[in-house]
Amino acid sequence: MTRLRSRRTGPSARRRRAIGVVAAVTATLLAGCYSYRPLATTAVAPSSEVRLVFTAEGAKALRDAAGFELRQLDGRVVRPVGDSAVLVKPDAIITVDGDELPWRRGELLVPWRAVDRPQQRVMDKRRTRGFVAVMSAAITGVVYFALKSIASGSGSTLQPGPGVPE
């Protein structure tokens, strides 16, 4: 005796899956591709995302204010303080020991002389274009097959249960 089990694969189920895939891919596309580029000047705009890599002397100089000797800081610029420093709201830090830690304190005043390599987070247009092209092709394929499946679907199919020969 052949046992049959019903598997609903109607248009509404397929449509929900297709919409879910498209929504996930769209969210990924909106994230973009970012990279860190060297800052040419200390005139950085407020709200800019930065990565500051410190000198050995800078790490020691910031120890009292930060509570750690910092190798690197990722955060957002609150405001420049003249040409000599920048007020930053750190998101994460890396200590000289290599520990990656979230920042749970407030803002940090960083003198530019303590920074070895200031970098700014910017959208990488070339990588983003490539990523968008690949994802657009994937979305097109998913939508094409979803629409093709919906157009040819009959609502539900009956398939043999597990272990039952066809």
Query: pLDDT (tens digit, 9 = 90+) per residue, 8-36?
Result: 555 577 677 777 777 766 666 555 678 88
Residue 6: the pLDDT is 47
Residue 35: the pLDDT is 82
If one compares 133 and 165, the residue with the highest pLDDT of the two is 133
At residue 147 the predicted structure's pLDDT band, cuts being 50, 70 and 90, is confident
CA dihedral (127, 130, 132, 138) positive or negative: negative
Q: What angle do CA 26, 30, 31 make, to 5 degrees?
A: 120
Over residues 128-134, mean pLDDT: 70
* pTM to 2 decimal places: 0.60
Residue 2: the pLDDT is 54
If one compares 143 and 128, the residue with the highest pLDDT of the two is 143
Over residues 48-65, mean pLDDT: 94
Give the other-Cβ count within 10 Å of 141's Cβ: 10
Encoding tokens for residue 1? 């005796």
Residue 89, pLDDT > 60, answer yes
Q: What is the rounded CA–CA span in Å between residue 55 and residue 38?
A: 15
